[in-house]
Structure 1
Amino acid sequence: MVGGGQLARMTHEAGIPLGIKFKLLSDTPQDSAAQAVSEVVIGDYRDLATLRDFARGCDVITFDHEHVPTEHLRALEADGIPVRPGPDALVHAQDKGVMRAKLDEIGAPSPRHRIVADPADAAAFAAEVGGFPIILKTVRGGYDGKGVWFVRGPEDARDPFLAGVPVLAEEKVEFRRELAANIVRSPHGQAVAYPVVESRQVDGVCDTVIAPAPDLDGELAGQAQELALRIAKELGVVGHLAVELFETADGRILVNELAMRPHNSGHWTQDGAITSQFANHVRAVLDLPLGDPRPRATWTVMCNVLGGDYPDMYSAYLHCMARDPQLKIHMYGKDVKPGRKVGHVNTYGDDLDDVLERARHAAGYLRGTITE
């Protein structure tokens, strides 16, 4: 697995019961997965020679991020190393311009958009879609709100162009809420779909995920799952695909983003689904039969634990575990920085209000924003 973050850490964990030998290419020995995996290579994924040395002897290569250069992945394939997802699929998660063009081609619903050349062109696009505000995104390198600008007027449109990469303009969608459809697809075309979830953001970062999305019309949920499955097939995705969606006030769904790896909106599956996203990603990239994606409980809630003040984590564990014996805590072994994802908690049960309160309390206590 290329990338040493928490997604690699949790994917490795899912492979342990199957006896899978897991090899990791990590930036530093301190990375989340590097602390847990026995065979770790420290190196730069942007260096082709490093990638080739790492891949030698591997049965398959997969990723915990989308940033490996596309041409490097093609070189690995030319060397006879299976890459899953492959570069022809992964480029749609690496480049938002390529993604939008492909979604247009296959008729997937999206916000109005186009590539813009400069601030004046962005202002022209705003006029085309009914005026400011609009959203500007660098086509490569953005995640968790980075590389995304909410532009209220021409004076706000300069910064996105300073990165020196193409800029995608999108209309500001008036949405009711954000949803995510998570699916997993294997090389021979088997695919499974998890329940559609509601994803709640704070400052551009996922804060809470509710599975399944409350009060979601069954027909619309089915449309979202079918759309995600169709996108995966059309793009040739192997492994996990997260399709982030807007649910509009008039009952439509629009594709916001794609991610071709285990995803924050699927962390609830660790404790809330029969087969987690991580276990199914492992099965998919190894072309094993996929596991059952159905939920174990009526409701499961995931809350991210963001960086805060951790004077005494042992005491925090004592409190959280004693207060809620069913609580599941997943910490990533990361250095704490303000706003950084350092872990998450999962709760489940039959009463949504209770499940939500338990998850929020635990995440807040672990962060230090709740003290009793």
Structure 2
Amino acid sequence: MMLKSSPANLASQGLGEALSIRNLTKRYGANAPAVENVSLEIQAGEFVTFLGPSGSGKTTTLSMVAGFTEVTSGNIFLGQQPIDELPPHRRNIGMVFQSYSLFPHMTVFDNVAFPLRRRGLGKAEIRQKVGRVLDLIQLTDKAARYPSAMSGGQQQRVALARAIVFEPQLLLMDEPLSALDKKLREQMQLEIRRLHKELKITFIFVTHDQEEALVMSDRIAVFNEGKLAQVGSPSDLYERPQSLFVANFLGDSNIFRGHVHTESESHILVNDCGRFFAPRSGEMSASGSAAISVRPERMRVLPVATRCEDANRVVGRVSQIIYIGSSRKVEASLPDGTVIQVREQPRDQVEVQEGAEVAICWPASASTLLPVHQGANCG
């Protein structure tokens, strides 16, 4: 399914408004805050994903923006207007829920028309707006059907149509693809991204799926324990995580802990497995406990006797080789029992066997130095 180019009077209007979240906190009784002092500036027309594990505060933050959860302290502005004390129906925000929340007794047309009727629009204008949006999502021929007669992907598109038909300034989506199978979910990721580019509405998308966040977002806000751990573009967060939590949560990472000191242009981390080089960063102190994060696809597996021209090398024993189609994953155990992962494209693969001792190499530029408060070991 591919969405059509949207009609001129629905797209290219710059409908999106900037969203400003300032020192937002939510407490439930005497418990630790569900959300604590979260501040985030979202530009008009931007696609931002709230990413984090269950209980991290991402959905609670979205619910406060929508008006379904009362703010304990802090402020929310949509454009220049404070909205944290407005009821949900006065915020001009569209919402797509995880369960779609379609009315089973209403046709597709009536489901999409519902927010327009609530706003008191006339029949002719409703027909025009609903027809325009159904054409956009390619469901015009399904207007008379009921949700029970539609697939999960079609129901998802109806929920999107209902959320955008009244031309909101902000569209919120709470894990709307989690109920779909993998292939359909991947298709819908691209279609939602295309819809965003067409309509220029400000989007906030909540998910715990890292790949989904990387594919769809202009920026990702990573939540952990009610706070923002890091905010940045997908490439910034993936290539330059600022904490062990982000490095481990967003994709796979191999972690080497140790003690760091600085020489010339490099940080050097030392532990029981050797010396490991990372680019010098002004954000890290010259010495102390630290860790290096390395993405599996930045490493190479070589026979142990082969010369390694990269700055970093560690010896391990292959415990598992997994074929995954476009690449292979090699797992190797280090002397202390730590298992690291290497992901290789076919052109980079050399013949190795399970149980063989191998050298694992990577350039200094593939290492990201991170602060920790633990002692030295191999992983």
Q: Which has the larger radius of gyration?
A: 2
Task: Specify which structure has the higher proportion of strand.
Answer: 2
TM-score, normalised relative to structure 2 = 0.25
Task: Specify which structure has the higher proportion of helix.
Answer: 1
